[in-house]
Structure 1
Amino acid sequence: MKTALITGANRSIGLETAKQLSKKGLFVYLGARDLQKGEEAVKDLTQNGFSNIKAIQIDVTNEESILVAKDIIEKERGKLDILINNAGVLGDVPQDASTTAVESIQKTFDTNFFGVIRVTQIFLELLKKSDTPRISNITSGLGSLTLHSDPAWKYYAIKAVSYVSSKTALNAFTVTLAYELRDLPFAVNAIDPGYTATDFNHFSGPGSVESAAGFIIKHTYIDENGPTGKFFSNDIEDESEESPW
């Protein structure tokens, strides 16, 4: 049975992704910064017929919590097949480039960028024990510099410096990591689940969590011939579903 870890999975897209992976027969660690909230989510899932899901405490801004989570998974499962770096924050608003405090930008980066690096680097040891290791960094279409330079793009006017910059940096990390691991059986991709209605955006997005989670899984749970170093977006109306960087 393959094992997956999803950070920030006690609600919204992360929670739905855990549900759908469970249905596929995977053992899923539902990562939550607050373990009690994670356990409450798992209890509800269990009562609704889901199995092989366990809550695990992991705060991506706290290295010690990541190390503890890694030790738990190593003892219980021996390896990790799938890492979905889903935890993220919007940051303080407004986010004007000329006035947003550096400290505010740093705080957003600590979760959205440095948090992903912390988790990934610590879990690489367990991922390398898998025959088909997969790393999916959950990004945003707002991280695309190409689209942000196109006045015709429907989200062109959204220029939130903390969030946008952190996702662009995350995309860059994805490319460099995929290249580094190119000779190993890894697939490392950036995945934008699309503008989804969640509490993250006050339920303003047109997409559903079911669609978002399905899209993440489609581009994560791939075979040995699957792509690596790509940027996929649920908002791209193209057969390839690839977003420009």
Structure 2
Amino acid sequence: MKNILVTGGNKGIGFEVVKQMAQLGYYVYLGSRDEHNGLSAVDKLKNAGLTNIEFLKIDVSDLDSVRQAVSVLQSKVDALDILINNAGIAGKQPQNISACDIAEVKAIFNTNYFGVIQTTQQFLPLLKKATLPVIVNVSSELGSLSMQTAEGRNANWDNFHAYGASKTTLNTFTINLAQEMRGTKFKINSVTPGYTATDLNNFAGFKTAAQGAAPIVKLATIGEDGPTGQFFCHEGTIQW
């Protein structure tokens, strides 16, 4: 049974990713920075008959927490097959870049960008021991410069300048890491779940959390002939 870690797995899209991956037969470590919320999420899934799930305390924005999570996981598994960097924050809106509080911008980047980098770096040794290591970075259409500059761009995106910028840099991390790992067995991609109703957007999205999780799960379960260094949505690839 392959081992998988989903950060931010206690609610929303992350919770649905955990559920769907467990249903496919993976052993899933549900990552959550809050122990109570994480354990409650695990209990909910186990009560639904999914026993191949375990809680792992991890705050991706805290390096000490990430290192502790690595230590715990190393004591339980020989390898980590799949890392899904799902944990993220939207920040306070509006975020018009001409006036947005710089402290808010830094907080968003600390989780959505720096948090992903340090989490991935710390788990790389375990991932390298897998037969087919896969890394999925959960991004957003707001991270696509092509979509940001397209004619007819959604004006509401101005409320999420800092969040969108953090996802653009996350996409850059995906490209950089995939290029660095070219010629190896690693598969590293970005994926957007689409406009999904979660607490990040006050449940304004038109997709359900289960629908938003679907493209993430699809990308996490690719085979040896699967893509790497690309950006995906449910319908296919997206331009950077």
Q: What range is the shorter-chain TM-score in?
A: over 0.9
Q: Secondary structure, in 3 states, of the residue corresponding to 2:210? A: helix
Distance 1:92 1:199 in 2: 12
Shift of 1:187: 0.4
Aligned to 1:166: 166
Aligned to 1:41: 41
Report what 1:202 is aligned to: 202
1:113 aligns with 2:113: yes
1:107 positional shift: 0.7
Distance 1:25 1:147 in 2: 36
What are the superposed Cα offsets for residues 94-140 of structure 1, whole Å, 9 maximum, x if unpaired? 10111112221011000000000010000000000001000000000
2:19 counterpart residue number: 19
* Aligned counterparts, 1:1-245, within 5 A: 1-153=1-153, 155-159=154-158, 160-234=160-234, 236=235, 241-245=236-240
Does the 8 Å CA contact 1:150/1:156 hold for their aligned counterparts?
no
| 5+ long unaligned stretches in structure 2 | none
Q: Deviations over 1:32-62 (max 9, x none)?
A: 0101110011111111111110011100111
For the structure 1 residues 156 and 150, does the alpha-carbon distance in structure 2 shift closer, same or farther, using more than 3 Å as the test?
farther
**Is the partner of 1:222 in helix, strand or coil?**
coil
**1:135-177 deviation line (CA, Å, top 9, x unaligned):** 0000001101111111224x35412221010000000010000
Instruction: Give the gaps of 5 or more residues in structure 1.
Output: none
Aligned equivalents of 2:226, 2:24: Cα separation in 1: 18
CA distance in 2 between counterparts of 1:215 and 1:227 reads: 14
Distance 1:171 1:2 in 2: 26
SS of 1:76's equivalent in the other structure is coil
Counterpart of 1:66, as a letter, is V
For the aligned residue pairs, the C-alpha RMSD in angstroms reads 1.0
TM-score w.r.t. length of structure 2: 0.97
Task: For 1:114, give the aligned amino acid.
Answer: F
Quick one: which amino acid aligns to residue 184 of structure 1? T
**Number of matched pairs:** 239
The letter of the residue matching 1:31 is: G
| Alpha-carbon separation, structure 1, partners of 2:202 and 2:102 | 25
- Percent sequence identity over aligned pairs: 43
Give the distance between the partners of 1:11 and 1:97, measured in 2 at CA: 29
Alignment check: 8 A CA contact 1:178 1:188 kept? yes
**Residue type of the alignment partner of 1:158:** W
The Cα offsets for residues 58-82 of structure 1, whole Å up to 9 and x where unpaired, read as: 0011111111111111110111000
Aligned AA (1:171): N
Stretches of 4+ aligned residues off by more than 2 angstroms: none
- 2:220 counterpart SS class: coil
- Offset of 1:90 from its aligned partner? 0.5
TM-score (norm 1): 0.95
Is the Cα contact below 8 Å between 1:5 and 1:28 reproduced in 2? yes
Aligned residue for 1:72, secondary structure, equals helix
